[in-house]
Amino acid sequence: MGAVTVGQRGQVSPFTAFDRESWRALAAGSELPLDAADVRALATLGDRIDLDEVTTVYLPLARLLHLHVTASRRLWAAQTQFLGARTEKVPFVIAVAGSVAVGKSTTARLLQALLAAAPDTPRVDLVTTDGFLLPNGVLESRGLLGRKGFPESYDRRALLRFLADVKSGKPEVSAPVYSHLSYDVQPGERQVVDSPDVLVLEGLNVLQAGGRADGRVPEVFLSDFFDFSVYVDATEHDISQWYVERFLALRRTAFSDTGAYFHRFADLTDEEATTTARGIWSAVNEPNLRLNIAPTRSRARLVLQKAADHSVRRVLLRKL
């Protein structure tokens, strides 16, 4: 089966669907610039991926994105000539969205590596929105520590300013740095983004277009600064299972560090850890997925639909 239009019966869908074979064929003859060790290093904990999956799914996606980057540059050159005024070339911004534990970090890292391998896009930066979370002390004072990852737990003004500065061509824009070990923003640490060819922005709610806490509709959305967006998708059942599996793996690795925020979970039995992980999922991640993250899926330019084994079974591409 090749590419097909998807949608409910009698309705026209904005997406065209590709099965694995037809999607892989789009990059036939292209050389994969990564080896097995590279892929293992780029994969996040619990996200099972191999060279075949990268060749089937992510290499064609990188080629598609490269076409968009090239077209954007040509438009910039033509517009500069038309206006008769020299304007600075600005970074091409790619957003990667999806739930906790769905594999969006792996997707973002793979895209960064594959795009950076192209000779005309040597500088590809990756920034996660975790750094724009409000510090734990602020969240606690506002009663939001239990809603970490929800839209209101971020410094959205700072994130908007960061993207506006990047997209305006401002050099040496910086983003705050987040530590998953301490589960908090690191005071004084910044990641500098200095006019890259491509910027990949990864985060839970980057495609959200809802109103503000005061009920007013914001004048500017994050998506106003995106040139392309990817949503990593899977069934809620599969994502919740992956979250539990990752929690169990972290208990044996990162949680064992005495300086880790979640060190208190390191000595839990398998049964206790599973119960704890399911409780956190039900209280925080499940409602965030249902209320804030999943509703943004239809706003993405491309959707990667994953199966229970983490492989991408179908790719949905928005029609131009």
Does 212 have pLDDT greater than 80? Answer: no
20-35: per-residue pLDDT in tens? 999 999 999 999 999 9
Does 271 have pLDDT greater than 90? Answer: yes
| pTM for this entry | 0.93
Does 216 have pLDDT greater than 70? Answer: no
For residue 174, list its beta bridge partners: 192
Domain span at residue 201 reads: 4-318
Q: Is the dihedral of CA 204, 209, 215, 218 positive or negative?
A: positive
185-208: per-residue pLDDT in tens? 999 999 999 999 999 999 999 998
Measured in residues, the chain has a length of 320
149-197: per-residue pLDDT in tens? 999 999 999 999 999 999 999 989 999 999 999 999 999 999 999 999 9
With left for phi above 0 and alpha for psi between -120 and 50, is residue 143 left, alpha or beta?
A: left
Alpha carbon distance, N-terminus to C-terminus of the chain: 22
Q: Name, in order, each residue with C-beta under 8 angstroms of 304's C-beta and a sequence gap of 6 or more.
A: 57, 61, 107, 230, 231, 232, 233, 312, 315
Task: Give 246-249's long-range contacts (Cβ < 8 A, gap of 24+).
Answer: 246/45, 246/46, 246/101, 247/273, 247/274, 247/276, 247/277, 247/280, 248/273, 248/274, 248/277, 249/45, 249/46
Count other Cβ atoms within 10 Å, centred on residue 210: 14
Closest CA to 307 of 213, 238, 256: 238
Say what the pLDDT of residue 211 is: 52
54-81: per-residue pLDDT in tens? 999 999 999 999 999 999 999 999 988 9
Q: How far is CA 150 from CA 34, 128, 160, 186, 223, in A?
A: 35, 15, 16, 20, 17
Does 12 have pLDDT greater than 60? Answer: yes
Say what the pLDDT of residue 24 is: 97
Number of domains in the chain: 1
Domain CATH for 151: 3.40.50.300
